[in-house]
Chain A
Amino acid sequence: MITRRKSLQTIAGGLGAVLGSSLFPGIGRAASSLLGGPKRVIFFMQNQGFDPATCIPAGMTGSGSLAKAKLPEPIEALEPYKDRLHIINGLHGLHTSPAHSAFFGALGGYRGSDGVPPSGPTIDFELSKVLPETLLPHLCIGMDSLENMRAKPTVANLSASGAGQPIFMHSNPNHLYQMLYGGISQGEIRQQHEARSSIYTRIEQMAAAKGGALQGMAKQRYGQYVQGFEDINGLRERLGGVSDHLREFAPEVDERYAKPEFETDWHDVLLDLGISALKSGITSVLTIGSGRGEIFGAWKGLGIEQQGHNLGHMKQPDNPIWIKIRQYNSRMLVKLMEELEKVPEGSGTMMDNTLIVYTSNNADKQHTNGANWPVMLLGHCQGAFKTGRFTQLDGKRPINALYTSILRASGVQCDRFNMSEKLAMKFDTGSGPLKELLV
C-alpha cells in the first residue's frame, strides 16, 4: 500500500533531483508555473508601526514612479532596488484594532489584540496551501530581545491556520537549525536530532498499535492522528533523504548560535536560516516577525540601549533610533533579495518568482486606530505586481484587499480575504484585488 508518506518520498526522490534547486515545484497547485518556477512570498512584520514618513520620498504627495525619487534615510539601502519596490500608503486596518499590535489580525485582516485568539487563518498560511507544495509549507521566525528568545523560544502571535489555531514562530536558531538541518549536522545537534527521530518513530508505532479495534469514523479520526506522526517522521526522513541537496544551502553554525553577544546576532542567523529554507526549497512562505508581533523587542546590537515599549512611544520620523532599526530591516530585505537572486530558477532567478511584503503588525504607529497601514512590496513575482512605484490610496480599502491581491497573483480566484460582505459594507469600498498593484 502506498501511504502519503511514501508518495511524498517518491516526489522527493524524483523531482528534487530533476529540478535541482527547488524541491517539489507545484504539483497541481494554483501557483505553479512551468516557465517561471514556483512562486514564494515573504512577510516581514516590524513591530511598533511603520510611519509612512520613514518610507515615502520627500515631496511625493501622489502616486507615481520612484525612478527619480530619492528614498528616505531609513530605507536608503533599498535605493539600488527601487525598480522592484512598490511603496503603498493609504490602506487601512480600522477593523483590526491595531493599537498595541493587531497580533493575528495583522496578517488575518480581522480584529486582534493582546490576548485575543485568532479568529481565522492568516494570509501566510492560506498562501502556503496554494503555493507549490514544499517539505515545510510555512516557516515563521520571530526576533526579539535575547532574554525573550531564550525564555520563550517559540511564541504564537502573528500566524494562524484557522480560528483558535495559532502557528508558532521559531526564535532560537539552535532549535530551528536542528529542525531543518539536524540530518546533515554533526556533534551534539546530530545526536539530538537522532534521539528525537527515534522517539517519534516509537511514538508512531505505539499509536498505530492502539488503534486496532476502532471502526467507522472513530477509525478515520484516529487514523488522522497516527498519520500526523507519519507526517512528522516523513518530514525528517525526507529532509534526511535530500541531505546532499540541503548541505548546499545550510548556513554554517558559528559562535553567534551558541554565544550571541547581542540579540541582533540571533536575528541575523535566524534570517540566514529563513533564507536557506527558501533557497533550498524547504519552504515557499516565510514570515519574519521582528518584535514577534508584540510591543516590545530590543536591538542593542545596533547601539540602541532603549528597548521595549518606549520605542513605540517615540515618533519615528527623523528619530535616530528608528532610523537605525529601519535601516537594519532594509539591510535584511536587501540580503533576502541578493541571496534569492543568486539562485537561478526558470528563465531568471528565484527573486523573479518572489514577493516580499514589508509592513508592521501595528499599522503606522504603536497607538493607532489603523486608519493608515503603509506597506512596501519588493519583487514582481513573475510579473504579477507593478514595481518601481509609489501608490497613494484613499484609505477606503483594507489590508484584506492587499491579501486578496496576493492570493489572486497566486492563482486563487477570490474577491475578498477574511471579510464578509456585511463587514465589507463598512470597511471596503471596493471588491477584488487592488488594481493599483497588479499588472
Chain B
Amino acid sequence: MKKRAFTLALTAISLLGTAVRAADTSTYTPGQPVEGTFQNFAQDFLERHCFDCHDDVTTKGNLSLLDLGPVDETNASIWKSIWAQVTLQEMPPKKKPQPDIVERLRFSDWVVGELEHAVGGFQAHLDPHKGNYVNHDLLFGPLPEGIRLQPASSPARLWRVTPQEHITRLNELINTEPVYDPEKPGVRSHGDAVPTNHGGELKLYFGTDRIIKWQGGTVAYATSVKSVPAVLSSARKHGLENYPDFYTVNSAEATQIVGKAEDILRYMAYGPLSIANPEQITDDPNTYEMEGDIRGLPTALVYGTKIVRPLTPVFDVIVVREVTDERLQAAVDYLFEALTFRPPAPEESRDYVQIVKDAIAKVGKENGVFMGLSAIFLDRDALFRPELVESGEPDEHGRVMLRDWELGLAVNHALRYIKPDEELRRAIVEGRLRTREDAKREVSRMLADDGIRKPRILRFFHDYFDHDLAGYICKDTVALARTGASSRGNGHYRAMFDATASTDRLIELILEKDRDVLKEMLTTQQVVATKADNTYFGRKHTEEERRAALAARKRAEKEQAKKDAAEVKRLEKEVAELEANVRENPESRQTKKFLARLEKQLVAAKKRIERGPRRNRDQDNVDVALADLSGPKIFARVSRRSFGNGSMKPERMLATAPEGQRMGILTHPAWLVSHSDAMDNHAIHRGRWIRERLLGGGIPDVPITVDAMLPDEPETTLRERMRVTREKYCWTCHQKMDPLGLPFEMYNHAGLFRTTEWGKPVDTTGEIIDSGDPDLDGPVENAIDMIQKLAQSERVEQVFVRHAFRFWMGRNETLNDAAVLQAAHRAYRDSGGSMKALITSLLTSDAFLYRKVQTGDTGKGKE
C-alpha cells in the first residue's frame, strides 16, 4: 500500500533527521521566515499529524493529502485550508496527539511564507477577519519556552484616506460647521465627520448652510442642492475597513477628484454665486419669485447673503486682488496644507505655483488658477498619509521612530478627520513631537478636550459593532410587513439610518462617562430613540393579541362612526333651526355668523364619515405592542446636509428600554437588522460576530465545495431551517456560530421583541461552546442571559482590546505585540474600563510609534 511504503521511507529519514529537527524547531521568532522545504520540513509534519485521517485509505472529509506536494498555484486552496485548520488548532482533532506550540507556529508560518511565494498577492493572513488566528492565550498568557519575541513595530507604509475622511476634508474647504457647544454636546459640530444622508449615501453638499428657502419637498430639495458623491472606493461591509493594505487610488477616481476639485475651488472663490443666479442670493426670499413649478432645479433655492464659507487665499487670488507671485504662493500653500494637513516643502510649493502659472499662461487667470490649483487635490499626501520614516535612524532592532509631521499626523489621524489643531501643529513645528512622552502629552490633551471632535473613535465602534449596516439591508416587502414594522415606501430604511445615528449617540454618552465602556455598551438599559422606535423597540403581538387589537380597533372605529353620525344629526338640526332664525331675523349678523360656523362644522363632520376612519400608522398598529419610550430630549449627530435644518434639532430622547426585553447595543434594532437579511434573521452572522468580536475565535473560510444555502420553507422557523448546518460536515464550524446567534431569535428581523413565531413560543436557547474560558461555556436561555455572562468576562475585554489594537495600528496583531496588548488591557482594567486610557496606551506603544522599513519586494507584510 502506498501509505505504508511512504511511512517506512519516512521513518528511515526521520530517524536520521531527529536531531536536526530538534535543533530546528527549538525556537520560534514571530515574523522571521521559517527555513525549510516541503521535503525537509512540511512533509514530516503532515505525516505525523495529518495522514492518519487524510491518506488514500482514510480520506476523512473526502480529502487525501498524500499526493499534495509543495505549495503551488494549483494546490494553494488546500494549503490555505491546512493553514487555517492548523493555526486555529482545529487540526489535528483534539483526541489526536498534538504538535507542540512552537512546532505548530513554525508550520503555520512556513505555509504562509510558501503561499506568498506561490500565489501572487496572497494576503489572507493580513485580513482583519483572520486577526483571531493568533492564539489568544499566547497573547495574554505565559509563553512557552522557545518563543523569542522581537520588540513591537509596524511596517513603514502609506494609508489611503477613507471616503468619509476625504469628504470631511473637502467639506472644510467650502462649509463652516458650527463650533462645539458644551451646552448641546450631541449636536454635530466642527470636526465631526460628514455623515451619510437620508438614504445612506456619503456626499459633499454645497451651500446648504446658506439655503433659507426652497421649492418642493425633500426629494426636490435633495436634487436642487449641488452635491458630489464620495469618489474614493471602500468595498468592505463587515468589520475593520481601513487597513493600509486595502486601497489605492485608480485613474477613474483621480479623474473624478480633479473634476470635482474645480467645482470646489470655484465655490471657495464665489460661494453660492458659482452655482446660482445673483437674484437667488437675498435675505428676503420674497424678492426672488419662483415662477411655476421649478422643483428639483438649482433655481428653486434661495441663499442668505451672509458669507459663511471660509474666506481663504483662494478667494483672495480670484476675487479680491490681482495675481502676484506672493498671492499665488499663499493660495498654493493654504490649499496644500488644507488638503495634506502639512505645509508644503519649498520645492513642492514651487512646483505647484509653476503649474498654476503655466495654466494661467495657457487659459487665462481665472481658468488657469482653478485648473492649476486642482492638481493639489491629487497630491500623494492629499490622498495617502505617509508613515515612511525616511529621515530617522534605525535602533538596534532596525526600527525607526515616527517624528515631527509623521508622528503628529499619525496622532491626529488616530482621533480626527480634519487637520491638526493649533496646539498640535505648534508642537510639531517646534520640534516637540519626537518622543513617547510628546505623543502621550498630545494624545492626553486631545482626549480631554471635548471641543476637539474625535470621529475616529466613533468610527472604531462602527467597525467593531457593525451596527451601521441596517439601512443597507434590502428587505422583502412582504417579509418586512410581517415583522410589524412599516413596509410602506422608504420608511423602514430611513428608520434604520436614524437608528444608527441613535446608537452612535448612545455610544458617545457611554464614552463621556468613560467607565466600564465595553460592559456598559453590552448591558445598558438606556436607549437613544426617535418616536418611530416605539415600534422598533416594541413587542410583536402574538396572534391572539393581534386579533384582540384588531377587534378593539374595529369597535373603536364603530363607536367613532356612531358619534360622528350623531354629531351630523345634531348639527343638521341646529343648522335648520338657525336657518329658520335667519329667515325670521335677516339683520342679525351674530346669527348669520354662528350659522356659517355650524355649516362648516357640518361639512367637516360629513367629510369625516365619508372618508372613514383615519389611522395613525404607529398608534393603530395592530401587530405591535408599542414601547412607551420617554425621557429628556437629546441631539443626535446627524446633519442638515440633505434636509434643511430639521435634523439639527434635538429630535430624539434618552429613554429606558422595556425591561426584560433588551440589554445593550446587541439588542438594538440597528445591530439586529445589520445582522439580518431580506427575509429573516441571520443567526450565523450574529453568532459569528459574538465568536469573533467577543470570544476571539476564528472561523475558517467556507469551503468552496459547500453550497451555503438554507432551505426555503415558508412558515418555518429559522432554527428549523438551520438544521442543515447541524450535519456533521458543517457543524465543526457552525457550532462556533449558530448556538451563539440563535438566542437572538427573541427578536424578529426588524428588531422587534417577540415571544412567538409562526404561532408557537419562540425558542431562544443557545450555548457557548469552547469559548476558551471554561467559566463561560454552557447553555444560555436567550440573548440577554448570554450577554450578561459575556459582559463579565475578562477574555471578552481582552478581545475588545485586540480589535482596538487592529483599528489603531491598521494591522493584525502578532505575538510580538503581546506586551503592547497586555499593557493596553491593563490600562483599560486599572482605569475602571476607560476608553481614553486604552487609546492612550495604544497610541504611545511601540507598535504605534515605531516603523520598520521592509526589505525585498515580495511584500510579505511581516515585520
Contact = CB atoms under 8 A, between A and B. Distances in A.
Contacts of A219: 857, 859
B678 interface: yes
B248 to A, nearest CB: 4
A307 B293 contact: yes
Contacts of B155: 216, 218
Interface in A255-305: 294-296, 305
A93 interface: no
Contacts of A156: 229
Given A215-B854, A232-B255, A115 B197 contact: yes
A214 B855 CA distance: 9
B232 to A, nearest CB: 9
A116 B199 contact: yes
B76 interface: no
Contacts of A306: 293
B372 A199 contact: yes
B383 A191 contact: no
B476 A210 contact: no
A217 B859 contact: yes
B843 interface: no
B230 A425 contact: no
A217 B490 CA distance: 42
Contacts of B474: 95, 97, 110-111, 119
A151 B275 contact: yes
Contact of B359 (A116, A147, A165, A199): A199
B759 interface: no
A229 B250 CA distance: 8
A423 B160 CA distance: 34
Contacts of A248: none
B358 A198 contact: yes
Contacts of B379: 206
B685 interface: no
Interface string B299-311: 1000000000000
Interface residues of A, number: 74
Contacts of A116: 199-201, 472, 493
A238 to B, nearest CB: 13
Contacts of A305: 292
Given A110-B474, A222-B248, A148 B298 contact: yes
Interface string A203-226: 100110011011111111110110
Interface stretch (B216-224, B407-415, B460-468): B216-224
A320 B713 CA distance: 49
A174 interface: no
B226 A152 contact: yes
B199 A221 contact: no
Interface string A191-206: 1101110110011001
A208 to B, nearest CB: 10
A396 to B, nearest CB: 15
Nearest to A228: B251
Most buried by A among B163, B229, B358, B375: B229
B158 A217 contact: no
A211 B155 CA distance: 16
Interface stretch (B177-185, B360-368, B558-566, B617-625): B360-368
Interface in A392-439: 421-423, 425-426
A426 B359 contact: no
A114 interface: yes
Interface residues of B, number: 89
A17 interface: no
Contacts of B362: 191-192, 194-195, 198
Contacts of B378: 203, 207, 229
Contacts of A218: 155-158, 244, 854, 859
B508 interface: no
Interface string B258-299: 010000000000000001100000000000000011111111
Given A164-B234, A309-B295, A221 B248 contact: yes
Given A217-B859, A421-B709, A426 B489 contact: no
B857 A202 contact: no
B254 A232 contact: yes
B466 to A, nearest CB: 15
A228 B677 CA distance: 37
Interface in B650-702: 677-679
Nearest to B274: A151
B458 to A, nearest CB: 20
A119 B388 contact: no
Interface in A126-183: 145, 147-148, 151-152, 154, 156, 161-168
Given A115-B222, A210-B380, A218-B158, A164 B235 contact: yes
B297 A224 contact: no
Contacts of B388: 213-214
Given A221-B158, A308-B296, A422-B677, A216 B490 contact: no
A168 B260 CA distance: 11
A421 B390 CA distance: 51
B252 interface: yes
Contacts of A213: 156, 388, 390, 853
A211 B390 CA distance: 11
Given A168-B259, A219-B859, A227 B251 contact: yes
B841 interface: no
B854 A216 contact: yes
Given A229-B251, A308-B297, A296 B857 contact: no
Contacts of B678: 422-423, 426
Given A115-B222, A147-B297, A219-B857, A195 B235 contact: no
A97 B254 contact: no
A113 interface: yes
B861 A217 contact: yes
A52 to B, nearest CB: 22
18 contacts: A94-B477, A113-B490, A113-B493, A114-B198, A116-B199, A145-B297, A163-B235, A168-B256, A199-B355, A202-B351, A203-B375, A203-B378, A207-B380, A216-B155, A224-B250, A295-B296, A296-B296, A309-B293
Given A117-B199, A308-B293, 8 more contacts: A114-B219, A116-B201, A148-B298, A152-B298, A222-B248, A225-B248, A422-B712, A423-B678
Interface of B: 123, 155-158, 160, 163, 197-202, 216, 219-220, 222-223, 226, 229-230, 233-235, 237, 244-245, 247-256, 259, 275-276, 292-299, 351, 355, 358-359, 362-363, 367-368, 371-372, 374-375, 378-380, 383-384, 388, 390, 472, 474, 476-477, 489-490, 493, 642, 677-679, 709, 712, 853-861
